[in-house]
Chain A
């Protein structure tokens, strides 16, 4: 399988503070890869940079064979890269339905195809169908997360970046959302998952990177990392 994403020596800074000090990673098409690490390790910064919300100070990103830097940030979704941001970022004063439509804003394949995809999302998350014409801001955190993921999928991405989908949600909802993520990925989407819940992330994904202090500290098969003593001590609380 070819790499859909390649990152070489990526460095990102907020003013004088360097948050990402040079990371390398790659994701093959169809893979599920986790990026785990402590608070402030640089997980969200990495995802934001990949999604074009932050500009790197050094390093190269290649997405789907193209130089990432040459793609305008708002064109990334057209090229097939979608981010579900930390804190979900739904549009609170648009309805659920309109939020899904916004997800398809970049598409040019016509209303019918978009409508069919909205129905597909309603099939995956029936709760969204019940609340289709409700303002998104009035929904619970779990429902908003379902909406945020569905909205990202409406853009028909090749690579989906998920930032902390479990944040602030009840365990039973988290379980449902992760089951759905796995299902969706089997349908042909590549996934890069950022999670604080390292156990869940390692159980869900095939490979993982452990980021610490803006650098990749460890990488490998998720199942190996799950049994790695260092990982267990630092991130799994064993």
Chain B
């Protein structure tokens, strides 16, 4: 039985690593939805750009003679986050803002269009194939009760938790956070209180893009590679996680992300076993969407959601 427990623990740990990444991406979807009711389908591409820019900057820095290490990585991530934030801000200001009073479907279709455009733009810049994430920090295994995680995976989980705590503090305690919550509940009245809602909405996009960039890097580090299409599947899964938790709800996105990571990881680990080898671990991707369908059928408001996700 001990061997079984090891496998279970290993899958749980893998799931938490995966889930941390989903949660960070899901937060970007849910924050934007919460404040302007838009599902920003281009968010997955922001995440992808975060990963690709980091890889490019790292190889540039290596070419300039920077020694690989944490500082070099941090510098690259900062550049990538800045690029993503700039992109998100541009999107909000020039694409979504003019459509704020348009029917819901219009900005949604635009978001899908931006997503496709960014994918192709990324393909033109970085090519069709995948880019290897350079080994800037030495990967070491850490043993946890018989299961193994790497120091990198451990960092992913810890950094995610720290970021989520920080976000919660920001939204709950700060002036910007209060303005965000008020704007989400009633834009018009938030304006009457003296809140510049354009700035608040812009800030929301910026924060979401920053989280997305970091998540993109985590995902690229974890798999050792990234490509121009990675945003599509990752984005859809994170969106499923946001819906699972209750779109518009911050804790929902965090919980939904972690839960989805666990479901996927456990499913990947046990489907082969449970179906007698008929379905293998490569069916892992269907579970996120099975969960999405089930949630939409039986609990459309998600686990923690109060708002109906019916506005598309």
Give A residues with C-beta under 8 Å from B: 51-53, 72-75, 77-78, 82-83, 85, 89-94, 98, 101-103, 105-106, 151, 155
Inter-chain contact A106/B181, CB cutoff 8 Å: no
Residue of A nearest to B179 (CB): A105
Q: Is the CB of A85 within 8 A of B181?
A: no
Q: When the two chains form their complex, are residues A85 and B188 in contact, meaning their CB atoms are under 8 A apart?
A: yes
Q: B196 in the interface, Cβ–Cβ < 8 Å?
A: yes
User: Which residues of the other chain, B, contact A92 by a CB distance below 8 angstroms?
Assistant: 185
Q: How many angstroms from the CA of A83 to the CA of B189 in the assembled complex? A: 9
B182 touches A74 (CB 8 A): no
Known: A98-B178, A105-B179. A89 touches B194 (CB 8 A): no
How distant is the Cα of A83 from the Cα of B194 in the complex, in angstroms?
A: 11
Q: Contact at B192–A85, with CB atoms within 8 Å?
A: yes
Write the residues of chain B forming the contact surface with A, with a CB cutoff of 8 angstroms. Answer: 175, 178-179, 181-182, 185-186, 188-197, 306
Task: Write 15 A-B pairs (CB below 8 A) sorted by A numbering.
Answer: A52-B191, A74-B191, A74-B194, A74-B196, A75-B194, A83-B192, A85-B188, A89-B188, A89-B189, A93-B181, A94-B181, A94-B185, A105-B178, A105-B194, A105-B195
How far, in Å, is A17 (CB) from chain B's closest CB?
16
Shortest Cβ distance from B184 into A: residue: A93
Q: Which residue of the partner chain A has the closest CB to B189?
A: A89
Kindly provide the distance from the CB of A219 to the nearest chain B CB, expressed in whole angstroms.
27
CB distance from A48 to the nearest CB of B (A): 9
- Whether A78 touches B194, Cβ cut-off 8 Å, given contacts A85-B189, A91-B189, is yes
Which residue of chain B is the closest to A88 with respect to CB atoms? B189
Known: A78-B194, A102-B182, A105-B178. 4 other contacts (CB 8 A): A74-B195, A85-B188, A85-B189, A85-B192
The residue from A85, A101, A106 contacting B194, defined by CB atoms under 8 A apart: A106
3 cross-chain pairs, A with B, having the tightest CB-CB distances, nearest first: A106-B194, A89-B189, A77-B194
Verify B181–A77 contact, CB threshold 8 A: no
**Which A residues are in CB contact (< 8 Å) with B196?**
72, 74
Residues of chain B within 8 A of A151, CB atoms compared: 193
The answer for the CA separation of A155 and B185 in the assembled complex, in Å, is 19
A94 partner residues in chain B, CB cutoff 8 A: 178, 181-182, 185
Contact B197 A102 (CB under 8 A): no
Question: Which residues of chain B come closer than 8 Å to A82, judged between CB atoms?
Answer: 192
Contact B186 A91, beta carbon cutoff 8 Å: yes
B contact residues around A91 at 8 Å (CB): 181-182, 185-186, 189
Q: In the bound complex, what is the Cα–Cα distance between A91 and B179 (angstroms)?
A: 11
Given contact pairs A51-B192, A73-B191, A105-B194, A89 touches B186 in the complex (Cβ within 8 A): yes
Q: What residues of chain B lie closer than 8 Å to A155, measured between beta carbons?
A: 193-194
Partner of A93, one of B175, B179, B185, B191: B185
